[in-house]
Structures are given as C-alpha cells and as structure tokens.
Structure 1
C-alpha cells in the first residue's frame, strides 16, 4: 500500500449539491431556499435563539431567585473521608497538589473540609477552608491545619 494508491471507501465521497445552475437541474430559480423572505436573501445570518419574531423561549420562561455571581463553590471532604483517602492513597498530608495528583479535584477547585465522621490518623491539612468541628477533630488527632 502506497500513499498514491489510497482511495476513499465507495460511497464515502459525494458530489456537492450544485445550486442555481438552471431550471433543468431541479435546483434552479430559488436555489432550494423557498420563496421570498429574509432567509432567501444573500448574506442571511441566523442568530442563536431567534424564533422568527416570536418571543424567544429564554424570554418567555419565568426567572426565579437570584444567581450570585460571586458565589464560591467548594469541593467538600468530610473528616470521615480523610481516613479512607489516607488508607487508599497512602498519604501523609492532604494538600491541593496531592488531591489533584490523585484525581480527586480539578486544577482550579477550592477545597473545604467538614467535620462529619471520625478521624483516627494524624494528618496535616493544607486546604482553602475548614469548619470549626473539622479543625478540632484534626488537632485532636495530632495533625495541623493550614489555610491556603
């Protein structure tokens, strides 16, 4: 097999539809664009969400509540989960780099540790936020908490 002998599979390549090449072609005259109207003109561009003058659906539907643009979303880990992570991945500390390397968070995620569950192992935390209960549990186990 050589590059000059390669050919596409049979039926893979079709001829382009030739528009506006006379009435005998069956695609002459209006060139399959129908009669009259904005869409039959040259230079027509369809805007996203345009419904031909009808009120678009994103304006018809009611909007409720308030979306806070400054909201901070955290990836949450409970103290009870930390023991499982330490056993599974053999960690000495839990930091953003370690969590990212093990595929538990994304590159830009913020991490918060909450206090549900029990912590048996000594662990050092380097995260964005910690609840008071979680901080008490980590220090009681002999670990340290550092906020990034």
Structure 2
C-alpha cells in the first residue's frame, strides 16, 4: 500500500468511526452490533483502494455518484443487509463489477453500516447472503 493510500485509509477510518458514533449518539442508537469494528476497519482499506475514487474519501459522492451516508440510508433502511451485500457484490466497484471477494464485500458493508450509525458488536458480519437475509439494516433513529 502506498503512503498516500495508507493516509487515505487512516482518514477514512476516522471519518467513518466519527460519523457512525455521532449518528448513533444523535439518533439515540443503542441497538446490537451487526459487525465488528475490526471488520469495518478492514472495509475502510478496501474502500480506499476500490471505492474512494468514485464515492469520495469521506463517502460524500461526486457528481452523479451518490454519497454513501445521509440519503443513502433511505434506500436501504429496513431491508435485509443481504440486499445491500448482493448489490455491492454484483455492481461494485464500477470499474470492475463483481471483482471483489465475498469477504471484501462483507467488510465494505460493515463499513457502510458503521458510517450510517449502526453500532459495532462482537460478531462479524457474515459473507453469506442466506445469513444476511436474517439481518435488517436498522440505523438508529428515523431514516434520513
């Protein structure tokens, strides 16, 4: 990993941790975790290499590329995490759809959950769509 990529990963991890914690606190989130903090940190590394060039270093989106926080929640809240995992798995990254391993996609989804206020827990998010059908994307508080 280059020094620039390492800096981007560190910055993204801090932004995701801060954003997720702030959202959870502001929404009164106390739900059980769906992923581990370590898994979301691994997702930050995958994101920096494969996603940040389109979605931005802080998940803010660029031009027609949507942000991955804020209004993002309205598209996925209340749905099985399997839906988000399946989408990421088949359609991302845009320059090489479907090229990431299932574990990498699970790490990315963990990062997305964290960045949108879903608290971390003790168990890793599985990389199995059948298991993910039983987990709902429930950000704390109302969808944005």
Structure 1 length normalisation: TM-score? Answer: 0.22
Say which structure is richer in helix: 2
Task: Tell me: higher relative CO, structure 1 or 2? Use CA pairs within 8 A at least 6 residues apart.
Answer: 2
Structure 2 length normalisation: TM-score? Answer: 0.22
Say which structure is richer in strand: 1
